[in-house]
Copies of this chain bind each other. A is one copy, B any other.
Amino acid sequence: MLPFTLTILGSSSATPTSNRNPTAQLLSHGEKLFLIDCGEGTQVALRRMHIHFQRIRHIFISHLHGDHFYGLIGLISSMHLLGRTKPLHIYGPPVLKQILDLQLEASLTTLIYPLEFHPTQADGPEVLFEDDHITVSSFPMLHRIPTTGFLFREKPYERRLRKDMLNELNIPVHLIPLLRRGDDYTAPDGTVYPNESITIESPSPKSYAFCSDTAYFEDIIPVVKGSTLLYHETTFMNDRIANATDKFHSTTGQAATIARKAGVKRLLIGHYSARYDDLQSLLDEARAVFPLTELAEDGSVFEIL
């Protein structure tokens, strides 16, 4: 099973505060680092946490409100100034490319590494990236401007071979990949060994769903269903539901309701309005609906398991 962890780099909404950066999260899966949103100050947050940001290969931007991307151009520039050579893939709304290009041109900067921009769209779900281990897809959220959530889903792990049976039956090496995928084993004497007798189950694949920013939106429930960890924004508490609705944001109670209806394993809330100094009341409101809720706070790390 590959290590799968989430680091919160920013948990504030709209404006940074003295102790909370705007939205940015680092998702680490195996050797890979994915950055999700990149509010102002993200590069310094990465430095302070001693995360070598040149290792990030893929950056996903949910939408073009400043608190989700104003730190991107600075990070891209620093990667350049610090001698990056590996490609960087950025996934985000099409206009983001223009915004980056205009700023690079203004400084007469030609990046010394390849920047590959992949435009996203908010009309329906879409697979953005996949490799042998993970699939990253986007899905529409309900916000004032086109916005996507992101779903990071591990691919099923292959079954693991029972070493005792491997030795006892003297199974040829070339058959091992087939057995891992579920084939039965037929011995030279014709005896058939069902796959279950020679392999054991692997851990079930884990998934992380990132939902920020959005009004209460039940369309996302089938998409994030059963997620190992669901991050859902909670800009306000229930007593400001009119404010939340008006601004296409969610309350803590609404976030927890989505988590419950989607049957996720754990819920993480964040994107707090600057009005909330103490987050305990938000946590209480969420846990009343969905007990397995945690608070995203700058610098906190969550294992996805």
Contact across chains for B106 and A102 when beta carbons are under 8 A apart = no
A71 to B71, CA, bound (A): 8
For A133, list chain B residues within 8 Å (CB). Answer: none
In angstroms, how far is the closest chain B Cβ from the Cβ of A223? 25
Q: Which residues of chain B are within 8 angstroms of A81 by Cβ–Cβ distance?
A: 14-15
Q: How near does chain B come to A174, taking the closest CB pair, in angstroms?
A: 51
Tell whether A280 is near chain B: CB-to-CB under 8 Å.
Answer: no
Contacts of A14 in B (CB 8 A): 78, 81
A145 CB–B CB distance under 8 Å? yes
CB distance from A35 to the nearest CB of B (A): 16
Tally of this chain's copies? 2
Q: A43-B40, A71-B40, A102-B98 are in contact. Are A65 and B16 (CB under 8 A)?
A: no
**Chain B nearest Cβ from A181, distance in angstroms:** 46
Task: Report the Cα distance A81→B22, complex, angstroms.
Answer: 14
Question: When the two chains form the complex, which single residue of B18, B73, B93, B144 contacts A70, counting CB atoms closer than 8 Å?
Answer: B73
B70 touches A66 (CB 8 A): no
**In the assembled complex, A41 has its CB within 8 A of some CB on chain B:** yes
Q: Are A108 and B47 in contact (CB under 8 A)?
A: no
C-alpha spacing A145/B105, complex, angstroms: 11
Residue in B21, B66, B96, B106 whose beta carbon sits within 8 Å of that of A77 in the complex? B66
Interface contact A95-B102, CB-CB below 8 Å: yes
Q: Does A197 contact B (CB under 8 A)?
A: no
Q: Is A125's beta carbon under 8 Å from chain B?
A: no
| CB of A191 within 8 Å of the partner chain | no
Interface residues of A (CB under 8 A from B): 14-18, 21, 40-41, 43-44, 47-48, 64-67, 70-71, 73-74, 77-78, 81-82, 93, 95-96, 98-99, 102-103, 106-108, 144-145
Further 4 A-B residue pairs, CB within 8 A, beyond A65-B107, A95-B106, A99-B102: A21-B44, A40-B44, A40-B74, A70-B73
Instruction: Give me 16 A-to-B residue pairs in the complex whose CB atoms sit less than 8 angstroms apart, sorted by A's number.
Output: A15-B77, A40-B40, A40-B71, A40-B74, A64-B103, A64-B106, A65-B107, A66-B74, A67-B77, A70-B74, A93-B106, A95-B102, A95-B106, A96-B106, A99-B99, A108-B145
